Structure 1
Amino acid sequence: MAVASDSSSTSGASAPGRFPTAYTILFGLIVVMAVLTWIIPAGEYERVANETLGKDVPVPGSYQPVDAAPQTLIDVLIAPIAGFYDPASYEANAIDVSLFVLIVGGFLGVVTATGAINTGIAQAMRRLEGREKWMIPIMMALFAAGGTTYGMAEETLAFYVLLIPIMIAAGYDALTGVAIIMLGAGVGVIGSTINPFSTAIASDAAGIPFTQGMVLRFVILGLSWIAAVAFVMRYAEQVRRDPSRSLVADMKEANEAHFLQGRDALTSEYLSGLQIVILLLFAATFGVMVWGVSSQGWWMAEMSALFLGASILIGTLAWLGEKAFTTAFVNGARDLLGVALVIGLARGIVIIMDQGRITDTILYTFEGWISGMSEVAFINALFGIEALMSFLVPSTSGLAVLSMPIMAPLSDFAGVSRDLAVTAFQTAIGITNLVAPTYAVVVGGLAIGRVPYNRWLRFIWPLLLILSLLSMGLLSLAVML
């Protein structure tokens, strides 16, 4: 599965006016950040250990210029490699996520080889005929629940290959499937309630209980979910009625061939007893993953082990044979190799910024901009600054630890409660992380869904505007009350 570009052509030649691939965009951003390390003065905050967070946090008012560390051509070339694993910058590491993606690809390859998925899709479409559109709000509610409770993000990468074929078979398009997952989990993060990677860490860094401000966050969650569901359902219905209105209409045949391969031969068949067992195990694997992450502290290593074990179990039950099993697993992993490479490239951008010592300088600049503002101006400026910073630091927990120790004390001087500063942070990064090309979940999800990045921007910008105005309006109202 190649990373999506703005051309459905499989030719190596570049068509005139063709939008660059995700690889080119991300490597270009690495180069841009390297150039900025020659222009932006280097500087750092002093940091102290926070035992609760298990991280070093910056000390407000401690920013000092340091020796410049401009990044060279060698650093630019090393950055994508270091993005996979850099011992000096754990937040930037992508090797665990990349390996998880490859193992999930192998798992899906094994399940597909049994024929259970294709037959299951065909049977589901027969039963849902005429009611397919109601899958959209239901699925988006489930993903939003994951986003608001435990920050569901990288975990969603495992669901694209499952959901997109169902959406295409129902008469929609690949973009609809991507939107259900990415926007569903995304609005959950925007309205994070008990999300440990957003609300809890940011609140702790701000020195307040994470339960403060919960009512406002529930309001933001509910209204954002309604807006996102209405937006996706409207687009999906347009595509169903007139496929030419799809933003990926020119890729329709290629996407159907990719996601529905073998389905035509199975539409008259019904699931066998063995295939039903396989699908139950398939669903149970995802259920166990959600349970493990939300209540057992699992992360990429444990999730990868789960999918590897499930692959072996399903392959054994289906009696694929050693050669057929390994072939299916390797082919499935190969389909997602491009996604794994994109994730490493995205993390390489953070590597360059950290090595060039410009991240803290950018934060210090923003700190100076918002000092002395009125309450309403401050909360909206803070929202905008966190949104911009999240393009550069796409890690939710990483940006919380970096910015909240600085921004929370500033909110005291502006007369804004710290829980509103935390809410401004989480809504801003949640919105930005729906489009940030530095965020592995965005570039990875689009790559799996074969949706070009520029088409995604064209689709989502009206909703981004709606969500931004909604969040800023509610924050402003909360400040004034």
Structure 2
Amino acid sequence: MKESTGTKLKRILLHPFVILFLLLIIMTAMTWVLPASQYDAVTVNGVNTIDPASYHYVDNTPVSIFSMFKAIPQGVQTTISLICMMLTIGAAVHMVDETGAIRSALMALTHKTGEKNTKFVLAGAMIFFMFIGAFPSMFEACIPFMPIVVPVCLLLGYDVVTAVCIVVIGDIIGWTAGPTNLYTVGNSQNIGGLPMFSGIGYRLIVLVVLGAVALWYVIRYAERVKKDPSKSLVAGQDYSDLRGNVEDMEFTATRKLILGVFIATVILVVYGSLNWGWGTLDMAATYLICAMICAIIARYTPDKAADVMLDGASSMFVAAMVIGIARGLSVIMDAGQITYTIVHALASMLSGMPPAVTAVGMMAVVVVLNFFMPSGSSKALILMPILMPMAEIIGLSKQITILAYQFGDGISNLAFPTVALLVACLSYTRVSFDKWFKFILPFEGIVYAVCVVLLVIASAMGY
């Protein structure tokens, strides 16, 4: 039976590129409708931020159609280091995966735990991504793990949606709790004059609570799919190209050594990002060195090593370009000078509310703004100088203000097509955004309800 025109159109319109292009059009139109505005720049505690009392309107600078198209390569240009990191880490991770080191190790673990206990493998993998989201604050850097997690999930009898959940939900839950998140907590506390990472005890409790909810939701879905594959969100789709041939892989001494090199690399990247100020290019270089060492251990010829790495890089190309196009939204907002217009309007809605309600309102404001500006650090630099004085007037602590910001910034990343981590993983696994949105919406509702309770408890205990 042929697809109807409506069905075809719906399927096409849900491609990440199409969604982002429609958003570019909408954002361009907004630069013609909304007034342009600015805040004056100031330096607080060594951080360049804004003066919340300096809001003023400026002459409109609407974005033309040509400039809208120009925003796409400009977005790619501004994210070029991230795109390079994705391509190079994708190449390196594929090299490690090609040797079978990680998948054969997981197969050995599966045999030890038993086929009926594979959910513990999923839980362990998800906790790993929670950890790297919570402490070294890795976000887009998790994308290259998809070529490893997907075939393992398929091999264990799960689906690609389970793989997306492990990486995306795991990392974002860790990022949201953010015990030592440099980008949201670190930036915000610096602006507010608080000791770096103070209040970590309550954020660790938040990590445990939200992590438990996430594990329950994901494992519940994964086990249901394993028992009945027709319950999968992607039932009927062919993923043989992502499965790999690992059924008979033995966890040999060579693969153990390669796995050791890979684990050491991950630890080095985490340590470097925490202690040496490593950025995307440093991580990319480290993973490339890892790939070369693994190729030598595996006794690959230079030609084979090059082919494997190129295959890995090409598998990440679409996901990498999505990030560049998504950044074009910020380019248009900045060119039209409507970023502060949106921020000021949202912040003004919070005035006059009781403290507990204000905290929840702050979370809601950040959720809305996160759609247009997914960068956690950028939003902190813009919002905190506005929200903190407002919170101080009504008796809301700076720590609770930051916590509300964390919740609004973090959880909404699971549902917005402007978030690089999400759209890259969905693109790689060919999971349509509408299916993902329907799947994640109940989870978001549950988690936001828990976040409201956590905010109320924090307020009651004087956090």
Give the shorter-chain TM-score range. Answer: over 0.9
Alignment match, 1:439 = 419
Structure 1 residues 150 and 290: CA distance shift in structure 2, 3 A? closer
Give the Cα–Cα distance (whole angstroms) in 2 for the partners of residues 422 and 269 of structure 1.
Answer: 48
State the Cα distance separating 1:196 from its structure 2 match.
1.3
Equivalent runs, 1:158-177 vs 2, <5 Å: 158-177=144-163
Report the secondary structure of 1:451's partner residue.
coil
Alignment match, 2:75 = 83
The 8 Å contact of residues 190 and 426 in structure 1, kept in 2 or not, is answered as yes
Give the Cα–Cα distance (whole angstroms) in 2 for the partners of residues 176 and 334 of structure 1.
Answer: 23
TM-score by length of 1: 0.89
Report the secondary structure of 1:49's partner residue.
strand
The 8 Å contact of residues 125 and 169 in structure 1, kept in 2 or not, is answered as no
Report the secondary structure of 1:151's partner residue.
coil
The AA in structure 2 aligned to 1:260 is R
1:405 aligns with 2:385: yes
Structure 1 residues 118 and 424: CA distance shift in structure 2, 3 A? closer
State the Cα distance separating 1:314 from its structure 2 match.
2.0
Alignment match, 1:102 = 87
Alignment match, 1:4 = none
Alignment match, 1:262 = 245
Task: Deviation per CA, 1:100-149: give whole Å up to 9, x if none.
Answer: 11112222333344454565555444334222101233222222222222
Give the Cα–Cα distance (whole angstroms) in 2 for the partners of residues 16 and 325 of structure 1.
Answer: 41
Structure 1 residues 372 and 269: CA distance shift in structure 2, 3 A? closer
Give the Cα–Cα distance (whole angstroms) in 2 for the partners of residues 291 and 177 of structure 1.
Answer: 26
Unaligned runs of 5+ in 2: none
Equivalent runs, 1:42-441 vs 2, <5 Å: 42-50=36-44, 52-53=46-47, 56-85=48-77, 93-116=78-101, 119-120=104-105, 122-128=107-113, 129-251=115-237, 254-255=238-239, 257-263=240-246, 267-441=247-421
Per mean C-alpha deviation after superposition, the further-off stretch among 99-108 and 448-457 is 448-457
Task: Deviation per CA, 1:60-80: give whole Å up to 9, x if none.
Answer: 121000111111111111111
Alignment match, 2:31 = 37
The AA in structure 1 aligned to 2:70 is I
Give the Cα–Cα distance (whole angstroms) in 2 for the partners of residues 104 and 44 of structure 1.
Answer: 38
CA RMSD of aligned residues (A): 2.1
Task: Deviation per CA, 1:24-58: give whole Å up to 9, x if none.
Answer: 111111111111000110000111124533xx211
Report the secondary structure of 1:437's partner residue.
coil
Structure 1 residues 478 and 320: CA distance shift in structure 2, 3 A? closer
The 8 Å contact of residues 116 and 275 in structure 1, kept in 2 or not, is answered as yes
TM-score by length of 2: 0.93
The 8 Å contact of residues 350 and 393 in structure 1, kept in 2 or not, is answered as yes
Structure 1 residues 178 and 315: CA distance shift in structure 2, 3 A? same
The 8 Å contact of residues 149 and 194 in structure 1, kept in 2 or not, is answered as yes
State the Cα distance separating 1:391 from its structure 2 match.
1.3
The AA in structure 2 aligned to 1:68 is N
Structure 1 residues 320 and 210: CA distance shift in structure 2, 3 A? closer
Equivalent runs, 1:4-43 vs 2, <5 Å: 15-18=8-11, 19-43=13-37
Give the Cα–Cα distance (whole angstroms) in 1 for the partners of residues 365 and 376 of structure 2.
Answer: 14
Give the Cα–Cα distance (whole angstroms) in 1 for the partners of residues 215 and 102 of structure 2.
Answer: 26
Structure 1 residues 433 and 418: CA distance shift in structure 2, 3 A? same
Structure 1 residues 214 and 271: CA distance shift in structure 2, 3 A? closer
Structure 1 residues 337 and 126: CA distance shift in structure 2, 3 A? same
The AA in structure 2 aligned to 1:106 is A
Task: Deviation per CA, 1:353-388: give whole Å up to 9, x if none.
Answer: 111100101111122211122222211111100111
Give the Cα–Cα distance (whole angstroms) in 2 for the partners of residues 231 and 64 of structure 1.
Answer: 46
Per mean C-alpha deviation after superposition, the further-off stretch among 271-280 and 43-52 is 271-280
Report the secondary structure of 2:43's partner residue.
strand
State the Cα distance separating 1:96 from its structure 2 match.
1.1
Structure 1 residues 339 and 188: CA distance shift in structure 2, 3 A? same
Give the Cα–Cα distance (whole angstroms) in 2 for the partners of residues 329 and 419 of structure 1.
Answer: 45
Give the Cα–Cα distance (whole angstroms) in 1 for the partners of residues 408 and 66 of structure 2.
Answer: 34
The number of residue pairs the alignment matches comes to 455
State the Cα distance separating 1:177 from its structure 2 match.
1.4
The AA in structure 1 aligned to 2:161 is L
Task: Deviation per CA, 1:338-360: give whole Å up to 9, x if none.
Answer: 11111101111111111110010
Give the Cα–Cα distance (whole angstroms) in 2 for the partners of residues 332 and 143 of structure 1.
Answer: 21
The AA in structure 2 aligned to 1:49 is T
Report the secondary structure of 1:433's partner residue.
helix
Give the Cα–Cα distance (whole angstroms) in 2 for the partners of residues 197 and 297 of structure 1.
Answer: 12
Give the Cα–Cα distance (whole angstroms) in 2 for the partners of residues 38 and 319 of structure 1.
Answer: 60
Give the Cα–Cα distance (whole angstroms) in 2 for the partners of residues 245 and 132 of structure 1.
Answer: 18
